[in-house]
Amino acid sequence: MINCIAIDDEPLALSLLADNISKIPFLNLQAACDDGFSANKAMQENDIDLIFVDIQMPGMTGLQFINSLIKKPLVIIVSAYKQYALDGFALNVVDYLTKPVPLDRFMQACNKAKELAELKALKYASTPPALNYTYINAGYTVVKITFDEVLYLEGLRDYVKIYFTGHKKPAIVRLSFKNVEQKWPSHFMRIHKSFFINTQKIEAINKTAVIIDEKEIPIGEAYRAAVTALIQSNS
């Protein structure tokens, strides 16, 4: 059974989407939400495998909502606007459905999600537990970085400065933020073009910055929606 949520700010569209989901035997609708913030709360309360989400919604668009997720389930976009399809697929969504959605087309997208969920489960079952450390080149030395000790990372052109707990001396290493996004644990989050943070080390958040180890780390405008979603999902 695939646990899913539906997100759409239009009551009729949300009702129709929920009705279509009820017709698919392997889908289990956990929540029907009218915005991304209530959807984040539902995802904290339930194990969600699949999201059906609209694009144009007040407060946070569907694309911003998808982009804000640290741990991303499978996503099917259901929108009245065709022009956002490329943006959706750039976020690796399962499918992009255009309203009004014929039931056979809806079933096709759901079957695709089912196949991907089964492959994901198979891969997870055969994958050993993730390591809690990595090795990084620092000059002529290979340095072991333990993720739990990392507070945040600061980009310095071709290098990255890594700050640690316990006032341990920062490490300056050759590392790209792209590598951090792809290979580091999901609780590491980019909040500024020059900063990645360990969300487990956050002490406080204000309108312009995240506080970690008594230091204010600025929140970039492009990442504000993701930080807002993080706050909402943990409140």
- 126 band by pLDDT with thresholds 50, 70 and 90: low
Reported pTM: 0.56
pLDDT digits 0-9 by tens, 205-228: 988 999 999 999 999 998 988 888
Overall number of domains in the chain: 2
Q: What angle do CA 223, 88, 20 make, to 5 degrees?
A: 120
Answer whether residue 93 shows pLDDT above 60. yes
93 and 203 in a single domain? The answer is no
Answer whether residue 105 shows pLDDT above 90. yes
22 and 45 in a single domain? The answer is yes
Look at 72 and 78; give whichever has higher pLDDT: 78
137 and 110 in a single domain? The answer is no
Domain harbouring 207, CATH code: 2.40.50.1020
Q: Residue 210's pLDDT is what?
A: 94
E strands along the chain, which residues?
2-7, 27-33, 50-53, 74-79, 95-98, 133-138, 141-146, 150-156, 159-164, 171-173, 188-192, 195-198, 204-205, 209-212, 215-218
Among the three residues 126, 161, 177, which one is the final residue of a domain in this structure? Answer: 126
pLDDT digits 0-9 by tens, 143-169: 889 999 999 999 988 889 999 998 888
Query: Taking all residues of the chain, what is their mean pLDDT, rounded to a whole number?
Result: 90
Tell me which residue range forms the domain holding 224: 133-233
112 and 141 in a single domain? The answer is no
98 and 171 in a single domain? The answer is no
24 and 118 in a single domain? The answer is yes
